[in-house]
Each structure stands twice: as C-alpha cells, then as structure tokens.
Structure 1
Amino acid sequence: MEQLTALDATFLEVEDADPHVSLAVGGVSIMEGPAPDFDEFVAAFADRAPTIPRCTQILRTHPLDLAAPEWVDDPHFDITRHLHRLALPHPGGDAELFETIATVMERRLDRERPLWECYLIEGLSGGRWAVLTKIHHCIADGIATTQLLARFSDDADARGGTFATDIRAAREPDRSGPPSPPKLGLNPVRWIGDIGRSALAAAATAEHVAVGAAELTASMFSLAPESSLNGPVTTMRRFSAARVRLADLQRVARAFDVTLNDVALAAITASYRKMLLERGERPGRNSLRTLVPVSVRPTNHFGMTDNQVSAMLPLLPVDEADPVEQLRLVHGRLTRAKASGQSEGGSALVSAAKNIPFALTAWGIRLLARLPQRAVVALATNVPGPRKRQTLMGRRVLEILPVPPIALQLRTGIAMLSYADAFIFGITADYDNAPDIEALAAGIEDAVAKLVKASRTRPKATRKSVTR
C-alpha cells in the first residue's frame, strides 16, 4: 500500500471544501478519422490500463483523517465503468466540442472507483474524432499526466520524447534541501576549508529557501483590488482554446532574449488586460497575481504518477498597454521570482508538511480553502507535451488540448501545452462568471501575433537555445 503525499492529498481536501469544484485534469486528443468501433476502443484500453497502477487502484481513507489516504487495488475493477462514448451535435465544430469538454469535466469523479475516465467522442467535423481523458489531480501533476497519457499511445518511447527535458527542474538539482556533504580528500589540512565552505553553502541555501517561502506567504496576504476574475464559482464550466505555432513563440523568445514561457505569459497578460477593459474594469499593477506552478520533477521521476510541483506568484503587468513592454516586465518579474527562491520556498513548505500529523494538515487545508481569498486571481500552468506526433490505435493525433480545473475562487484557469509544432492554451472558466471566455482565447492569439510582428523589426539575440 502506498500513501498519498501531503501535496497529493491537498487536491482532495480542496475539492472537499467546495461542492462546486471538481479537481480533475483533462487532456483531449483530436484524432484523424475514421473513429474505431467502441468495442475496439474498449479492447485497446483494457490492454493498456492495467499497466498503470493508478488506473486499477482506489483510495482507502481513514476515519477523522488520522492517516493519509492509501492506494489499494480495486477488487471489483471493471474497465467498462471508465470508458464512455459520446457524439457531438452537428456541425461538430469547436463550439460543440468545447461545450462537451466543459460538461464532462465539471462532474466529479466517483471516489469509490479508480479516479479516471476516458471518453470516445465522435462526430467532429472533417471526419475527425477525439479522446477525452480525465484524471483526478491527486494522482498526477501536469508532467506526470502527460507521461501517463503517453502510455495509452501506440509509441513505445512516448514517455521519453517530450519537451519536459527542457525545463529547469529536469536539468538542475533541487535546492530546497541541504547540500550534499563535502567529499573529504586525503589531505587533513583541506578538511577544515571544505567543511567551512559546505557550511557556508548550507547557510546560503537555507537563507535562499527562507526568503522564497516568506515572499510566497507575503504574496498570499497581499490583496488584489475587487475584480470579476475571482470570487465564488458555480458548478458549471465553460472551455475554450487558443492555438498558436510553437515556432512563433520561439521566434519572439529569441528576438527579445526571453524564455518561451515568458512569451506565453505575456500573451495571457495582454488578453486579460483587454478582457478587464471590456468588462469596464481598470487594470492595476496588482490586479493579476497569478499562480504559476513550477515543476520540481527530475528526469528520473518522469515515470512516477504523483505531484512534484512548487509555485510562484508573480504579478502579471496588466496595467501596461504596450505588448513589448509587457513582455519585458513579465521576463523581469519571473526572473526575480526565480532568483528569490519562491519555487524552492514552496518546496520547503510542502516538505515541512510531511512532519505535521496528517489530520492537522487535512483540517487546516479544508479550513483555508473555505475562506474567501483575494490575493491570487488567475492560474497559468505550462505543461510540456510530446515532441513527436503520436498515434493511438493506428490513428494520428492531430492536436492535444489541455483542460485545467478551477478552484479556490479562481474563476479562470489556463493550461499551456506544447505538442509537436503547436502550442495550445486550454482555458477553463466558471459558466456564470466568464461568458466571454472565447474573447480571452482570441485575445491570446492576437497578442502572440502582435509580438511576432514586433520581433520582425528587432535583431535576433545571440542565444543558441530557448529555454522554458
């Protein structure tokens, strides 16, 4: 039996605290036609699902949360309870697909069964079909979800061929813990110097982590102005997507010597600014504090199904009108947030939770989740997807749409996913409080186009690669 970590369990506690939220993450693969027979679809997943332990396990909880929930094998596992078939109404375009995605994702997963579902969706225009996979967030974060979904594909090496190896966490050691002890050589005279340098490094690391944790905590108590972007949510959802070329983001990143993630967040900033103005609200400097999850998953943990993320809470510059200046500000603020140790501080806070009795952690999270919060206004998470085009059941995967959940009184959430030569922004929003979700998606595409235009008049930077 394997217990949930404190971070994994957090997603269950947050869901329990608000009956209007469902904390499942989704991925939609748009497939080249024709669609397979449903029996063939069931047979394919019946072969592959048992190779993923979480697909055949259920949660066993303890009275009064005296211990963390545990993963145990489901003695009554039945694959047919997790596979479903839907058909879109005519004409089967984005509007019909997005409405279906929102309807499926707003429903909570049954905790008496393994916490996943998969839908074969027929009737897409152009002879296409889709597969919507829904997984509870307590099972996996963004990277783990894409790795898990890759196991359903036809490609044996799909788990290794993703953009995830480009992110910092995959290349750099985690600095949230103490440094390794020095390797003492044969010369005793050098021991004192080596030990001294190690002690100084440990002190510097501890200070770095403490500053980052303090910044995160202070940000949570820094209230944003009254805004339509946060507040109580209903049970119904809307979904939309913005599609841009990965090459366009990379071109802008090279031209302005920033990261690809900076460009994506700048486009989101511009679209939120436009939406707030159209709603009659005045964007201020502290109007858009955004939860930006940061992966701390090393490459040798890519096969694990769990959550290994920290967070940063930057203020996105919606008060700035110029697209290029927005990009510069986003880059500067993200750089400062990284340098200040916010990610390492978040990891340290999560690690500290391991030393607290689970009951206290669970009760505390549920209490905090019920309290109104006006500090964080939006969610923007970047999920590296497969580098190469995939196939499922012999059919080509044309594109992949990420579907984030919303909770903690955030009325919109944006997940970004890179797949082959495309970069997709999947947007989930509360049905009643974000009827203009299509405008938010269109604004992102328009913002990227403006940055591409601006990049053509600027000499390319000398950087040899573009990091995430």
Structure 2
Amino acid sequence: MEHLTTLDASFLQAEDSDSHVSLAVGGVSIVEGPPPDYGDLVSAFAERAQAIPRCTQVLRTHPFDLGAPEWVDDPNFDVAHHLHRIALPHPGDDAALFAMIAGIMEQRLDRDRPLWECWIIEGLTDDRWALLMKIHHCIADGIATTQMLAKLSDGGAGESFASNIRAAREADGSILELLRPRLNPLNWMGGIWRATLAATSAAEHAVVGAAELTARVLTAGQESSLNGPVTKMRRYSAARADLAVMKQVSRDFDVTLNDVALAAITSGYRAILLARGETPGPHALRTLVPVSMRSVEDFDLTDNRVSAMLPLLPVDEPDPVKQLEIVHQRLTEAKESGQREGGSAVFAASGSLPFVFSAWAIRLLTRLPQKSVSALATNVPGPRTRQRLMGRDVLEILPVPPIALHLRTGIAMLSYADRFFFGITADFDSAPDVDALARGIEDGIRHLATLGGSRVQPRAAGEHR
C-alpha cells in the first residue's frame, strides 16, 4: 500500500478549495490514418493499463485528513469505465478539436474510480484521429505522465528528452552519496569533511532559495487581467514549432532551449496584453515555472517530483532579442539563487509533519486569492522518436495543463521527435483571445529565428562549414 506524498496530495487539496477547477493534466496524440476498430482498441488498452498500477488503483482517504490518502487496488476495475468514443462536428479542424479538448478537461474526474480517462476522438480532417489521455495531477507530474502515456503506445516507453534535464544529469549529491567509502581508507576523513561542507552549503543554498520564493509569493504583482477568479468553463489552443529552428535560435544567441520557449511565451503575452488595452509593466508576468527534481532512475515512478521557480518574464520589453537576453539572465539568476532547491526543501520538510496539519494548511493557503503570480509555464520533455499507436504513426502530442489559484492561463510545452508544442489552457470568460496567444508564441519564435540568422557572421575566404 502506497501513501500520497504531501506534494501529490496538495493537488487534491487545491482542487477541493475551488469548485471551479479540475486538476487533471492531459496529452492529446494526433494519429495518422483511420481510427482502429473500437473493440481492438479496448482490448489493447485493457491489457496495457494492467501494466500501470495507477490505472487500476483508487484513492482511499481518511476522515478529517488524519492520514495521507493511499493507493489501493480497485476490486471492480473495468477499463470500459475509462474509455470513451466521440466524434468532432464538421469540419473536424483545430477549432473543433480544441473546443472538445477544453470541454473534456474542464470536467472533474470521479474519485470513486481510478483517476484517468481516455477519449478516442474521430472525425479530424486529413484522415486523422486523436486520443486524449486525462490523468489527475495527484498521480504524476509532467515527466511521469509522458512516461505513462508512452507505455500505452505500441512500443512502450522509449528514449525521452527528459534524460537531458538537470536533475537527470546530476549525481544524487546526498550525504550518503558523498560519504561513499573510498578505496583508500586514508581518504575517508577527507571525504567526510568534504561531505559535511557540501551538505552545509546545500542547506544554506536551499534556505536562501526558500526565502526568495516566499518573498515573491507574498509580493503582489501588477494588476492584470491575467490574474483573478476563474469560471468552470475552459478554452484550449496550441502553438507548434520545429525543434530544429528553436535549437538553432538557442545556438545563435547562446541560450538554452527553455529560454527560447519562455521568450516566445513572453512575446505572446505582451501581444495579447497590448490588444486588451493594458500596459505590460515590469511586474505584470510573474510566472510559475515548475522544475523537475526527477533522476533517471525515477522515470518509471508515478508521482510528483517537482520544485518551482518564479521569474518575472519581461513583457515590458518590446525588443525580441532583449526579451530573450533578459529571460536568460533571470532564469540563470533563479537557478543560482536556490529557488529550485528551496521549493523542494519546503515540501520535503512538510512531509515530516503530521499529514492533517499540512493538508489543512494547503487548503487554507489555496483558498486565499493570490495576486503575485500571473501565469504557468511548464516544460515537459517528451519522446525522442516517433511513436505508434495501434499500428499507426503518432504525428503530434499536444500537452494540456490545468489552471487554478487565480491563474487564468496555463501553458505546457512538450518536445516530441522533431517538433515542439505549446498547449494553452485558459478560462473561458476571461481569456477569449487564447488563439491570439498561441499565434503570438509562434510569431515570437519566427522573429527570433529571423533575427538570429541575421547575426551570423560571414565566413572568411576559403573557410568551410
């Protein structure tokens, strides 16, 4: 029997605090060719779901939160409760698909059953169909969710871009790792001393980062239409880009791929704020940027292993290149300040408290109208190679983030094979311009690609590529 961690359970408590939110995450696979026979698909998913424990488990909760919820096997599990078949209205274009995605994701999952659904969507243009997987956030973070979805494909979980992330590349760094016995006993005392210094430095770094995160959460940002209560209804849109183009931009300007993506998001938000008649100030877009803390060894575990950073995205800056430079600078400062380690330390510390205290504290905090953060931007590394589903090629994978805590828009990014996707969830009433945000992101990438190409210096005579 497995208990939810404090971080896992916080998504349930945040959902309980606002009847207008559904904290499920989604992934939409756009598949080539006609849809498979429905009976064949049900049989295949019944078999593949059995290999993923969370797909056949339900939550067991305790009265008054006296203990953490537990995952237990569902004695009445029936895959038919989780598979749904639906068709798009004519003409089956992106607008129809996105409206259907929004309508499905805004509904809460039934907590009396395993917390997932699968929707087979037929009637897409160009002889395509789609599969929408919907999973409650208490089960998994972005990387764990993509791993679960990959296990439902024909080839299972293959190689992922997630192996490139910082947490996956770095050594454990724990005291136990640092104290591993050396071959030469004469080195033991030196090793213990270095481990002690490293542990002290890491603790100080985490404390500073936690204090910085706390200060930013408690500091109200600029009044903006991006922050405020949300309704129950949602809108969805998506932006698409070539991964090769984004990588070239990152090389041209000597920044990371994530910097390029966040700069494009900055450009998109600036465009819609100006279109709304608002002046994008320097404190208008404090953004929640989740950061993975998952090592390679933990890729197969279904839980949440994330921390967070809270950078200000420079929507006040009109120049795209300067936007990118500022994004790079602020993300670098946030990483070096210890925000990543501080956020992780806070949840680790809360896990040592009796669950009833942390549960009630999270419910109280999530009921308060926060005014410091205006947007969510989460980057989820996806599969490196193209997947197949029921013998058909998966052309695209669109991520679907939730929104909550007065954030009226949320953006999830996902890299898949040679493409990069931005999935945008928005409140129906307060963000009718979600498509404009998506187009602004695509325009931002195109502008940076053009400007990056113009910065290439001409080669000297006789110089070869």
How high is the TM-score relative to the length of structure 1? Answer: 0.95
Cα offset, 1:186, TM superposition: 5.3
Instruction: Specify the alignment match of 1:70 in structure 2.
Output: 70
Structure 2 distance, partners of 1:110, 1:177, is 42
| Residues 35-434 of structure 1 aligned to structure 2 (within 5 Å) | 35-156=35-156, 159-174=157-172, 180-181=178-179, 183=181, 193-434=190-431
Cα distance per residue 1:126-158 (max 9 Å; x no partner) = 1110000000000000000000000110114xx
The amino acid of 1:199's aligned partner reads T
Matched residue count: 457
Instruction: Specify the alignment match of 1:440 in structure 2.
Output: 437
Structure 2 distance, partners of 1:399, 1:61, is 37
Partner of 2:240, secondary structure, is: strand
Instruction: Specify the alignment match of 1:465 in structure 2.
Output: none
Partner of 2:454, secondary structure, is: coil
Cα offset, 1:447, TM superposition: 0.4
Instruction: Specify the alignment match of 2:33 in structure 1.
Output: 33
Cα offset, 1:40, TM superposition: 1.6
Structure 1 distance, partners of 2:240, 2:399, is 11
Instruction: Specify the alignment match of 1:22 in structure 2.
Output: 22
Structure 2 distance, partners of 1:90, 1:359, is 50
Q: Is the 8 A contact 1:179 1:202 kept in 2?
A: no
Cα offset, 1:457, TM superposition: 1.5
Structure 2 distance, partners of 1:48, 1:191, is 48
324-333 or 274-283: bigger deviation = 274-283
Cα offset, 1:378, TM superposition: 0.2
Structure 1 distance, partners of 2:316, 2:305, is 33
Structure 1 distance, partners of 2:182, 2:151, is 44
Cα offset, 1:111, TM superposition: 0.1
Cα offset, 1:198, TM superposition: 2.9
Cα offset, 1:44, TM superposition: 1.2
Partner of 2:130, secondary structure, is: strand
293-302 or 175-184: bigger deviation = 175-184
13-22 or 213-222: bigger deviation = 213-222
RMSD between superposed Cα atoms in Å:
1.4
Structure 2 distance, partners of 1:176, 1:22, is 36
Q: Is the 8 A contact 1:182 1:195 kept in 2?
A: no
Q: Is the 8 A contact 1:323 1:451 kept in 2?
A: yes
The amino acid of 2:428's aligned partner reads Y
Structure 1 distance, partners of 2:342, 2:112, is 35
The amino acid of 1:14's aligned partner reads A
The amino acid of 1:385's aligned partner reads G
Cα offset, 1:38, TM superposition: 1.5
Structure 2 distance, partners of 1:177, 1:226, is 44
Cα distance per residue 1:16-74 (max 9 Å; x no partner) = 00000000000000011111121121111111111100001000000000000000011
Q: Is the 8 A contact 1:102 1:239 kept in 2?
A: yes
Partner of 2:384, secondary structure, is: coil
The amino acid of 2:123's aligned partner reads G
Q: Is the 8 A contact 1:65 1:362 kept in 2?
A: yes
Cα offset, 1:180, TM superposition: 2.5
Cα offset, 1:185, TM superposition: 6.6
Cα offset, 1:181, TM superposition: 2.5
Q: Is the 8 A contact 1:174 1:344 kept in 2?
A: no
The amino acid of 1:331's aligned partner reads H
Q: Is the 8 A contact 2:56 2:74 kept in 1?
A: yes
Structure 1 distance, partners of 2:325, 2:35, is 45
Structure 2 distance, partners of 1:6, 1:411, is 25
Q: Is the 8 A contact 1:175 1:205 kept in 2?
A: no
Structure 2 distance, partners of 1:374, 1:200, is 39
Distance 1:402 1:438, change over 3 A: same
Structure 2 distance, partners of 1:144, 1:130, is 21
**Structure 2: 5+ residue stretches without partners:** 458-465
Structure 2 distance, partners of 1:378, 1:174, is 31
Q: Is the 8 A contact 1:176 1:209 kept in 2?
A: no
Q: Is the 8 A contact 2:181 2:188 kept in 1?
A: no
The amino acid of 2:6's aligned partner reads A
The amino acid of 1:85's aligned partner reads R
Structure 2 distance, partners of 1:279, 1:179, is 53
Cα distance per residue 1:216-248 (max 9 Å; x no partner) = 111101110111001100000000000111011
Partner of 1:226, secondary structure, is: coil
Q: Is the 8 A contact 1:178 1:202 kept in 2?
A: no
Cα offset, 1:161, TM superposition: 1.0
Q: Is the 8 A contact 1:182 1:198 kept in 2?
A: no
Instruction: Specify the alignment match of 1:463 in structure 2.
Output: none
Instruction: Specify the alignment match of 1:466 in structure 2.
Output: none
Cα offset, 1:184, TM superposition: 5.9
Partner of 2:259, secondary structure, is: helix
Partner of 1:123, secondary structure, is: strand
How high is the TM-score relative to the length of structure 2? Answer: 0.96
